Amino acid sequence: MAAVEKSGGPRAKPFSVLMDSVPGSRVEGNGAVAVVGFTQDSREVAPGYAFICVRGSHDGHSFIPEALRRGAVAVVVEAGREREVPPLSAVGIVPDSRAAMAALARAFYDDPCSRLTLAGVTGTNGKTTTALMLEAIFRAAGKATGLVGTVEYRLRDRRVAAPHTTPEADELQRLFAEMVEEGVTHVAMEVSSHALALHRVDGCRFDAAVFTNLTPEHLDFHPDMQHYLDTKLQLFVDEQYLPKRLERLNVINVDDDAGRLIARQAKGQVLTYALDLPAECRAEGVELSAQETRFTAVLPSGRVEIAMQPLGRFNVYNALAALAAGTGMGIPRETAQAGIESMEPVRGRFERVTSRTRNVIVDYAHTPDGLEKALESARQLARGRVIVVFGCGGNRDRTKRPVMGGLASRLADQCVVTSDNPRKEDPEAIIAEILAGISSEVRKKCAVEPDRAAAIRLAVEMAQPEDLVLIAGKGHEDYQLVGETKLHFDDREVAAQVLAEIEGRDG
């Protein structure tokens, strides 16, 4: 986690002035001390910093001595922990240090989000592509754009690696401040449920909010689906996320059960979209191929023909959401059309791996719903068999493993079950839980290969020119997490190498 610091941002501010932004807080010691930056990572502390003690996988309060040794001039602790700070230090005492971090970051950077037009996209699947499509629409309209999402962060044409889908509050506000400095006016942003639950986006006022869908995911974090839904719902009903200067635009998928519930409760204007049920924004005449996707978008402002590179029916949903949001924010539909059609395939999102003789697609699908939609799209495009390579991540929701095994064995002609990001779990134990969802009568069409590179090779080698190979689970990721080690691994690179060898042999 990068520290929030004054470089490229505001000047130093008195600690007590910053603490005034945190409801229910109090300051002990020298509140007038000047703070030049702050961080929740004791390793990032520099002289003049305030250190925020956040409880998470590690308790930040345990690192107070290290932060002071590194030059921290103030410490923010949760109520009841102030005695852990040595005397003569400036101490901010708060009810919740995560919520405090968001308020402090906004105060330190003079609330940069208020100077941006901000569109947030939330849901289980489709956030990344929808946000990228919306950014493309903003660009086509001549706006100076920013992007916050899973694949990367963008500040106009500058790209920054993305450690989180939605950054921690201190990093997010620093990012917004840099966007303002670089002239950005319009930002498309993924908003994860973790971000909402962990106060990362507290106080961010979204001019538009998009809901894509809700399916089982992150149940290692959320106790149940109701909690997951309630967390997503906050974006649409909590006053702290609503803009002050205009009515909120809410763009909601009403083909989704949760979407229909959210549409009834959302505050502000509601603009619905769907492919199956009646809605204000619809898609007609959908034509899917392995080269492009065509449909007619029916919007409140009129009809527009779309021919785009992103493939698959699920990308029609994403495009319809972005078109609805863009035109709902005042962008002409022809301009929105140009933005969508200017997009190249999204990295790792149903992305074709170039080949003269084989059909190979890499997709990030790592949830049951994501895998099901990817396989259904693969079936619509394939002229022969559908072969899928997939696994499940370690130290994550285990309940989805047999479900994904059952889906893959039912929807694909051949499965190769492999490792994903095993983290600290035994890959073969994860695979066993996937196989538990596959009935004995169809187990014969499932191969097991724990080595992911070998599994990709096996699937591509068995494919014929009419077949389609779907490599699911990691998408844009260029690494594999094994234990505590992050190894370079890119599904697209491995598949491309195998394809080159096959084409070399075939001449």
Return the CATH number of 351-506, one of 3.40.470.10, 3.90.190.20, 3.50.50.60, 1.50.10.20: 3.90.190.20
> Residue range 113-132: average pLDDT?
95
Domain definitions of the chain by residue range: 4-108, 112-342, 351-506
Burial of 239 (0-12, 13-18, 19+ CB in 10 A): exposed
Q: Is the pLDDT of residue 16 over 60?
A: yes
What is the pairing mode between strands 293-299 and 281-288? antiparallel
pLDDT confidence band for 221 (50 / 70 / 90):
confident
| Alpha helices per DSSP H over 162-224 | 169-181, 193-197
What is the pairing mode between strands 446-448 and 468-472? unpaired
Q: Is the pLDDT of residue 2 over 70?
A: no
Q: Which two tokens stand for residue 51?
A: 């250190």
Report the distance separating Cα 306 and Cα 298, nearest Å: 11
pLDDT above 70: percentage of residues in the chain: 97
- The residue type found at 39 is T
Residue whose C-alpha is closest to residue 133's, from 311, 316, 339, 362 = 339
Q: Is the pLDDT of residue 8 over 80?
A: no
What pLDDT score was predicted for residue 166?
Answer: 83
Q: Which two tokens stand for residue 191?
A: 């908003």
| Alpha helices per DSSP H over 329-449 | 333-342, 368-381, 400-411, 427-435
Residue with tokens 């979204």, as numbered in its chain: 206
What pLDDT score was predicted for residue 397?
Answer: 85
Return the CATH number of 112-342, one of 3.40.1360.10, 3.40.1260.10, 2.40.160.10, 3.40.1190.10: 3.40.1190.10
What pLDDT score was predicted for residue 444?
Answer: 85
- The whole model's pTM is what? 0.84
Report the distance separating Cα 389 and Cα 404, nearest Å: 12
Return the CATH number of 4-108, one of 2.60.120.200, 3.40.1390.10, 3.40.109.10, 3.40.50.720: 3.40.1390.10
Report the distance separating Cα 155 and Cα 180, nearest Å: 9
DSSP category for residue 59: B
191 or 443: which leads in pLDDT:
191
What pLDDT score was predicted for residue 454?
Answer: 96
Q: Which two tokens stand for residue 456?
A: 């990709």
> Residue range 267-272: average pLDDT?
97
